[in-house]
Amino acid sequence: MIVSISGWNGLVGTALRLSYQRVANVKMLQLDRTCSEFVLGISRIPWNPEKGVFDAQPLEGTNAVVHLAGEGIAEKRWSSAQKERIRRSRVDGTRLLVDGLRKLQSKPSVLVCASAIGWYGARGDETLDESATPGQGFLAEVCREWEAEAAKATELGIRVVQLRIGVVLATAGGALTKMLPIFRLGVGGKLGSGRQWMSWIHVDDVAAAIRFAIETPSLSGPVNATAPSPVANLEFTKTLGRVLGRPTLFPAPAFALRVAVGEMADDLLLSGQRVVPKKLLAAGFSFGFPTLEPALRDLLVPKARPAPLPSAPPSGAVATYPT
């Protein structure tokens, strides 16, 4: 099987390719914005969404395309220019990819395109599965346009899965990495009221969900990639503190967050979505980390090394081992 991946070096892309490296008979191709030419043996395919340049011919015969590339949502304060970069990187980038697939003689059977639970907007305590109506706000608008561009690949006979990814828990990047320095110092706490829902997922489960989507013909359209047990921010805070062995007594007031990061505070920190992965569960997907505390412990608690085997006794000696 040949799998082509954009966003290869991102948080989820890295987890996916490392996962596939352990699978026999899978070849990966990288859609790479940095290389200037296609080089056989390196498996890198040049594409430049910013300039609208993409020669899809090397994708001939690819079985699946996984599209993860996009400007980081929380990397910079949301100026008008930054919001436009976020929108264009997703909407224009996906359009460029689908237009390239349109020119292929032998098209992939499936396109798995990243989306986000921001599609649902701020919804309070409402439980949201894939049948929920779209929300309002900047991120919801971006996700709607993003998914609409990916959906055009269905016109080409390609099965499209729009993976609405929640808060990815990992130690190599993402939200958890930004929280850890504060919480390890013992000065972490809830954000705002702490009542907003956090729909999270372990990074290994995201990679597994993408592979499952590729391998499951019955899955198409929007698919929530979140653990089946979302939690309120207050519960997340307390659980993280417990895993780290640190107090969580210092809340971050809403007004302070708005001063610190502007508009981003309301969309990313102070509002949330209570999202459940109805379609993944119905299709038979098994989460490695369905609940929060085991997921955090897997990521943050050092693994115990197995005890060394006892050495062989000297010749003629009687071996005695503890029982």
174: tokens are 């993402």
Banded model confidence at residue 304, pLDDT cuts 50, 70, 90: low
From 53-57, 64-68, 139-143, the region with the lowest mean pLDDT: 53-57
Question: What is the C-alpha to C-alpha distance for residues 130 and 321, in angstroms, rounded to an integer?
Answer: 57
pLDDT digits (tens, 9 = 90+) for 70-89: 888 877 888 899 889 999 98
Question: What is the C-alpha to C-alpha distance for residues 231 and 27, in angstroms, rounded to an integer?
Answer: 37
- Measured CA angle at 84 (ends 82, 89), to 5 deg: 95
Is residue 223 helix, strand or coil? strand
Tokens 């599609």, residue located: 119
pLDDT digits (tens, 9 = 90+) for 255-267: 777 877 777 777 7
Domain 2-169+199-227+273-288 has CATH 3.40.50.1820: no
Instruction: Starting at the earlier edge strand, list the strands of the sheet with 159-165.
Output: 53-54, 44-48, 27-32, 2-6, 64-67, 110-116, 159-165, 221-225
Parse the chain into domains and list their residue ranges. Answer: 2-169+199-227+273-288
The DSSP secondary structure of 111-138, one letter per residue, reads EEEEEEGGGG---TT-EE-TTSPP--SH
